[in-house]
Chains A and B, each alone.
Chain A
C-alpha cells in the first residue's frame, strides 16, 4: 500500500491554500476601487456637510426644484397661476347683522374675480382679476390680494392702468354709484372721496375699519410718462347682496 509522501501532502495543501488565496486576491483586486470610493465619498460628505448646510438655503432660493416639479406636472390653460382642475375654494361666512350664512368663493391668483360698473364715469363691465402683477394688469383691473376679499367688510383695493381698464376712472365724481359684482355677491358703492397720493404713500391701500372700495390708477395730470402719483377713488358700501353659489 502506497502512503502519500510528505512532499505530495505539502503540495496538495499548498494547492488548496493557493486556490483560496486566488479568490481572495481577485476580490481584493476588484473591490479595492469601491472601497476607496466609499472612503473618499464618506470623507468628502463629512467635510462638506457643514458648508452645504450654510449653502442650502441659498441654493433653494436660486433653484426651486419643488416648484419646478409641480409646474411640470400641472395643467394650466385657463390661468397660468393655477391648475385647471384646482378645487373651488369656498367658505361659509355668517352675516352679523342678519344672522344669515353665505358662501364665498376665494379666487386663485390670476382668476377672473369680479366686474366693475360705474355708469356716470363711463366704466362698463371692467373685468377684475386676482392679483396686481404686470401680466394680470394687462388683462384688466387687478384686485390687490393684500386687501380684504370682496364681500368681507373692510378696504377692497383694485388697481388698473390709466390707459386701459381705468381709462375712465378720473371721470368718477363724488356721489356716483359704483357696482362690484362677483360670482357670489353684488356690492353697491357710492363715491365718497377722490385723492391723489404719492406711490410710496400706502395710506389708501392699507386695511381699515370702514367698509369701502378703493380704485386707483397712475395719475399724470393728463400728461404722458411714468408718474410717481396715483389717483384714488374711494367709495362707501351702501348695499350688499348675496347670491346662491352652485358648486
Chain B
C-alpha cells in the first residue's frame, strides 16, 4: 500500500468536504423532492386515495345518519371517488406551492358543494312537507348546521396530507418565508464542495493516484451519515407509528414518507457504491503503481528496490 501524502491537511479538507456534501445533498433533496408535489401525488395515486376518501366519508356519513336521522345515502350518493381524488391532488399542489413559493396565495379547498347541499335540502324539505313541519328559523338553523357539518367533514377528508391544515398553522408562514433560502443554501454548499475538492486536488497535485481515494472516502462518509439513520427508520417502520389513525390521512402520509425514505436510501446507495468503486480503484492503482515502481527500481538500482516513498 502506498503512503498517503499531506495526510493531516487532506483529512481536514475531506471532513469539510463531507460536511459540505451532506449539506448539499440535504438542500438538493429539499429543493428538488420535498418542494415538488410530484412525490406526494405519486404516493397518493398509489394508495388510490379517491376511493379511500370515499370509503372514509361513507363511514362518517353512516355514523352521521344516526344522530341526524337523515339516511346516509343522502350524503354518500353525491360523492364521486374520481372527483374527490382530483380535489385532493389540487389541494396538495396548492398547499405545496404556498409552502415553497413566497409569492403563492394561501390555499383553499376547492370542492363543489352544490350537489350535496341540494341533496340535503331537498330531503329535509320533503320530510318537512310530509310531516307538516313548519319552516321557521329553527328549521333553517338545523338545515344550515347539517350542511355546515357535512362541508367540514368533506374538507377534512380531502385534505389527505393535512397540508392545508398545516398551511394555516404557525409554522407555515415561516416555511413560506424561509423556503427561498434553501436554493441559496444548496448553491453555497455546492460551491463549498467544489472548493474543498479543488483544494484537495491542488494540495495533492503531485500524487493524482490518491485523488480517487479521498473523493471515494468523502462520498462514502457523506452517504453513510444519511444512509444509517434512513435504514434505521425503514427497519423499525418508524412512520407506521403516525398518530393520526384516520384511514385516508394515515395511508397518504405514511405512504408519502415511505416513498421519500426509499428515494433517499436508493440515492445514498448509489453514492455509496460510487465511493466504494473509487476506493477499490485506488487500491488497484496503488497495486499496479507499486509493481511498476519496483520494476523500474530493480532495473535502475538495487538501492531503491524497496523504497516506496521516494518515487516522486
B221 at the interface (CB under 8 A from A): yes
Is B19 in contact with A225, judged by CB distance below 8 angstroms?
A: no
- Interchain CB contact under 8 A, A220 and B18: no
Question: Could you tell me the distance between the alpha carbons of A233 and B70 in the complex, rounded to whole angstroms?
Answer: 24
* A13 shortest CB reach to chain B, Å: 11
Cα–Cα distance between A110 and B138 once the two chains are bound (Å) = 35
Query: CA of A25 to CA of B146 in the docked complex: distance in angstroms?
Result: 78
Proximity string of chain A (6-32) to chain B, C-beta cutoff 8 Å, 1 when within and 0 when not: 000001001100100110011011001
Q: Which residues in B have their C-beta under 8 angstroms from that of A245?
A: none
* Centre residue among B18, B69, B306 by max chain A CB count within 10 A: B69
A62 to chain B, nearest CB (A): 6
**Residue from A14, A40, A225 in contact with B15 in the complex, judged by beta carbons closer than 8 Å:** A40
Q: Is A209 an interface residue (CB 8 A)?
A: no
* Cα(A134)–Cα(B63), bound, Å: 7
Contact yes or no, B67 A218, CB < 8 A: yes
Do most interface residues of chain A lie in helix, strand or loop, or is the interface mixed?
A: helix
Residue of A nearest to B171 (CB): A58
Q: Which of A181-231 contact B (CB under 8 A)?
A: 218, 220-228
B70, A225: Cβ atoms closer than 8 Å: yes
* Residues A33 and B3 in contact, CB atoms below 8 Å apart: no
Q: Mark A54-92, 1 if CB is under 8 A from B, else 0.
A: 000000011111011100000000000000000000000
In angstroms, Cα B68 to Cα A161, docked, is 9
Interface size class of A (residues with CB under 8 A): 35 or more
- Least distance between B76 CB and chain A CB atoms (Å): 16
> Does B149 sit at the interface, judged by CB under 8 A?
yes
Q: In the complex, which residue of chain A has the Cβ closest to the Cβ of B148? A: A226
A21, A33, A63: the one within 8 Å of B241 (CB): A63
Please state if A138 and B63 are interface contacts (CB–CB under 8 Å). Answer: yes
Q: Is A39 an interface residue (CB 8 A)?
A: yes
Give the residues from 209 to 252 in chain B that come closer than 8 angstroms, CB to CB, to chain A. Answer: 213, 217-218, 220-222, 224-225, 236, 238-243
Most buried by A among B222, B225, B239: B225
B15 A220 Cβ-Cβ under 8 A = no
Q: Does B288 contact A (CB under 8 A)?
A: no
Flag if A18 contacts B306 (CB, 8 Å). Answer: yes
- Is the pair A225, B66 in contact by a Cβ cutoff of 8 Å? no
In the assembled complex, B11 has its CB within 8 A of some CB on chain A: yes
Other-chain residue from A22, A41, A162, A218 in contact with B225 (beta carbon distance below 8 A): A41
- CB within 8 Å for A40 and B22 given contacts A25-B2, A32-B4: yes
Residue pair A220, B66 in contact (C-beta under 8 Å): no
- B64 proximity list for chain A (CB < 8 A): 226
Do B15 and A68 touch across chains, with their CB atoms under 8 A apart? no
When the two chains form their complex, are residues A220 and B306 in contact, meaning their CB atoms are under 8 A apart?
no
Within 8 A of B (CB), among A32-48: 32-33, 35-37, 39-41, 43-44
Please measure, in the bound complex, the distance between the C-alpha atom of A18 and the C-alpha atom of B241, giving whole angstroms: 57
**Once bound together, how far apart are the Cα atoms of A48 and B155, in whole Å?**
37
Contact A163 B66 (CB under 8 A): yes
**A164 on interface, CB distance cutoff 8 Å:** yes
Q: Smallest distance from the beta carbon of B98 to chain A beta carbons, Å?
A: 20
Residues of B within 8 A of A22 (CB): 1, 308
Q: How far is the CA of A36 from the CA of B225 in the complex (A)?
A: 11
Known: A28-B4, A62-B243, A225-B124. A40 touches B19 (CB 8 A): yes
B184-223 CB contacts (< 8 Å) to partner A = 213, 217-218, 220-222
As a 0/1 sequence over residues 7 to 34 of chain B, the CB contacts with chain A under 8 angstroms (1 = contact) are 1000100110011001000000000000
| In the bound complex, CA of A62 to CA of B253 (Å) | 11
> Closest CB of chain B to A36's CB: distance in Å?
5
CB of B139 closer than 8 Å to a CB of A: yes
A residues within 8 A CB of B128? 223
Q: How far is the CA of A225 from the CA of B127 in the complex (A)?
A: 11
Known contacts A25-B4, A33-B221; is A68 also within 8 Å of B146 by CB? Answer: no
Q: What chain A residues lie within 8 Å of B149 (beta carbons)? A: 226
Closest chain-B Cβ to A237's Cβ sits at a distance in Å of: 28
Contact A161:B66 (CB < 8 A) given known A44-B225, A223-B128, A224-B142 = yes
**B133 contacts the other chain (Cβ, under 8 Å)?**
yes
Which residues in A have their C-beta under 8 angstroms from that of B220?
Answer: 33
Q: B102 → chain A, closest Cβ, in Å? A: 23
Interface residue B145 (Cβ < 8 Å from any Cβ of A): yes
A binding-site residues for B, Cβ under 8 Å: 11, 14-15, 18, 21-22, 25-26, 28-29, 32-33, 35-37, 39-41, 43-44, 61-65, 67-69, 134-135, 137-138, 161-164, 218, 220-228
30 A-B interface contacts by CB (under 8 A): A15-B306, A22-B1, A26-B1, A29-B4, A33-B217, A36-B11, A39-B15, A40-B22, A40-B221, A40-B225, A43-B19, A44-B22, A62-B242, A62-B243, A63-B238, A63-B239, A64-B241, A65-B236, A68-B241, A138-B63, A138-B66, A161-B67, A221-B138, A223-B128, A225-B142, A225-B145, A226-B64, A227-B67, A228-B141, A228-B145
7 more A-B residue pairs beyond the given contacts A18-B306, A40-B19, A40-B22, with a C-beta to C-beta distance below 8 A? A14-B306, A18-B307, A39-B15, A63-B243, A64-B241, A138-B66, A163-B69
